[in-house]
Amino acid sequence: MAFNTLDNLNDITGKRVLVRVDLNVPMDNGKVTDTTRIERVLPTIRELSEKGSKVVLLAHFGRPKGERVASMSLAPVAPSVSRLLGKAVGFADDCIGPVASDAISAMSNGDVLLLENTRYHKGEEKNDPAFAEALAANGDLYVNDAFSAAHRAHGSTEGIAKLLPAYAGRTMQVELEALSSALGEPVRPVLAVVGGAKVSSKIDLLENLVSKVDMLVIGGGMANTFLAAKGVNVGKSLCEHDLADTANRIMSAANAANCEIVLPADAVVAREFKAGAENETVSLDAIPADGMILDVGAASIQTVASKIDTAKTLVWNGPLGAFEIEPFDTATVAAAKHAAANTKAGKLNSVAGGGDTVAALNHAGAADDFSYVSTAGGAFLEWLEGKELPGVKALEA
């Protein structure tokens, strides 16, 4: 898709720029405990401020559902933004109305102001046109730098973009370019690695990917459902036996699309789910009736590594095993490090995302060497599922 970026902005001195950011950060006792999301939007804030605009930040925090909930105020976040930005960041106790407009009127060129939680108003999540107009009244331009909220058609993500000249911020731009390089216009062959606990939560994702990629590695608990559908006795492993027809349908669709599905060739099994549990690696025809598959073995790891070596583009979502507890993190760590090494060597474009995925790649110490790791969660998954994201669609030039 073609969209406007900050490169399309010329003289914005004195312009009021409404910037949608994701400041839904973890807090403890009124202090921000993880500043990752703040750090990601700093380049956009800094660039707009240095160009002399009045930077007005729009964000949500938690789920107040249209009520003023004190514990979900953005007020405690402003000091962290200020510290990381290296300049003062003001705060206004509302995002629309006189409180917001008066605070914006008092701004000087280059100033940065954070407005209160957009979700304090019911019109935000309802994408009420009147609320969007009230937001837009305080700006001359709109910049969306919150890909993580782009799958929501809210007042501050979609409604406002129809009322003001709209642009993608630097973080949004990088994300969209990374996603386009992974599935939009990828260099082939394309490999997808999809893991996690359940097939039921990723049916749409799998059905979309088999039509887009050349190879699909399925791991984690969801692989057990596919193995069972093929007649493998998976013992007491996590398995959605009632989804055998779904698994077979996905495998048939993959075959028709000439997409190779790669399932585990062996299994690491244990009788109990705990760190350091006694375990053994067995072939698929030797899984004990009282055993649980908690990871894949050396043969499977070697196969995944060979597929990574074949690929030019990698899309990764979900771990290959129960990576949270050792030693069942072995396959996930090995595959992640292999992908990271190929990326670092310039052989692979690797894009990853989704909650467990970020944690798994960080656990493996591989995240920094991937081409792009999305922290967007739900928006990243909906993009993988092939769904249109309203907040992105609204930015089309």
Catalytic residue numbers read 37, 198, 355, 378
Count of C-beta atoms within a 10 Å radius of residue 33: 10
Q: Is 121 exposed, middle or buried (0-12, 13-18, 19+ CB in 10 A)?
A: buried
* Residue 167 and residue 43 in contact, taking contact as beta carbons nearer than 8 Å: no
Single-letter amino acid, residue 351: V
- The residue among 373, 390, 383 whose CA lies nearest residue 336 is 373
DSSP 3: B
Q: Are 15 and 140 within 8 A, CB to CB?
A: yes
Distance from C-alpha of 51 to C-alpha of 41, rounded to nearest angstrom:
16
- Beta strand pairing call for 279-283 and 266-270: antiparallel
Of the candidates 125, 184, 187, the residue with the CA atom closest to the CA atom of residue 157: 125
Do the beta carbons of residue 33 and residue 179 sit within 8 Å?
no
- What is the Cα–Cα distance from 239 to 290, expressed in whole angstroms? 14
